[in-house]
Amino acid sequence: MKLFNLFGSFFLFILLASFLGCASTAKHEGTGEYIDDTAITTKVKAVILKEDSLKSSEINVETFKGVVQLSGFVNSQADINKAVEVARNVKGVKSVTNSMRLKQESSVGEYIDDAVITTKVKAAILKESSLKSSEINVETSKGVVQLSGFVNSQADINKAVEVARSVKGVKSVTNSMRLK
């Protein structure tokens, strides 16, 4: 009987610990919320992809606790409006934060320069041990870098902006990052 009680207590402890490990906090999603947000992100990307007037490769989608953030550089205000509209209609979306910007016409050389700048900024953020590079999206248009995503603190935002500004070729940095 004593062994049975010990086993039962141990099982209860393990069960409780696993539930607490999956619980959410203000800055961290629980396992269920993470799965829900991943599903919402996938659904939003799918409806944007299906929309003929939108270039899905230009629009980044991030979700945290049902809040969808759209970012990137797009061709027109109509594209911005359409992307926000279709994202809002996805089941599970609580709200949509629009961080998209209008891009200006670029030559092939500028496009290549922007791709190089984006790569350098991503590498610089990756090297910064205090930042989670997987939480930060980087887009560049005509030397203007846009940082977006959901991060843990204002210090993370400040550091990411500082790192991006330090990269050669960056003309300015637009911060579209949000706190979790």
Of 68, 102, 136, the one marking the end of a domain is 102
Assess if residue 126 is contained within a domain: yes
- Phi, psi dihedral angles at 153 (to 5 degrees): -150, 165
Q: What is the mean pLDDT of residues 151-176?
A: 96
Q: Do both 96 and 67 map to the same domain?
A: yes
Q: Do both 97 and 112 map to the same domain?
A: no
Residue 172: pLDDT band with limits 50, 70, 90: very high
Q: Do both 135 and 158 map to the same domain?
A: yes
Q: Do both 70 and 114 map to the same domain?
A: no
Condensed to tens digits (0 to 9), the pLDDT of residues 101-149 reads: 998 777 788 888 999 999 999 999 999 999 998 899 999 999 999 999 9
Condensed to tens digits (0 to 9), the pLDDT of residues 53-84 reads: 998 889 999 999 999 999 999 999 999 999 99
Provide the β-strand partners of residue 145: 140, 173
Domain count, the chain: 2
Domain assignment of residue 139, given as a range: 108-179
Assess if residue 61 is contained within a domain: yes
Assess if residue 41 is contained within a domain: yes
Assess if residue 129 is contained within a domain: yes
- Could you say which DSSP state residue 135 is in? G
Assess if residue 152 is contained within a domain: yes
Q: What is the pLDDT, as a whole number, of residue 23? A: 46
Q: Do both 55 and 114 map to the same domain?
A: no
Q: What is the mean pLDDT of residues 145-167?
A: 96
Distance of alpha carbon 22 from alpha carbon 28, whole angstroms: 10
Assess if residue 23 is contained within a domain: no
- Coil/strand/helix, residue 11: helix
CATH number at residue 48: 3.30.1340.30
